[in-house]
Structure 1
């Protein structure tokens, strides 16, 4: 894919990375395959990753 091509995503999940009450980033899961449906599992994975990263940034 070249830089002038665009991608359309069918499903997107975002979870904020929070450090000391401030949003410092986000974990984003995206799928561009129409057969892939994001579920509660993917949401929990993104939230877990965001929580882990937030704790790592605090230290």
Structure 2
């Protein structure tokens, strides 16, 4: 997105971020579909006030 464009344009900062993502790449829009479908479905009806990171493992580190 435009939100990450400045970071992605800076080679050193971009690599620093990529080194922290176990998935090894910035997310693509299609990678957000699963959680979007889940949250829009009845399967998530009992979820309230949860934070579900969709970050390629960035927070695991």
Q: TM-score, normalised to structure 1's length?
A: 0.30
Structure whose residues are more often helix by fraction = 2
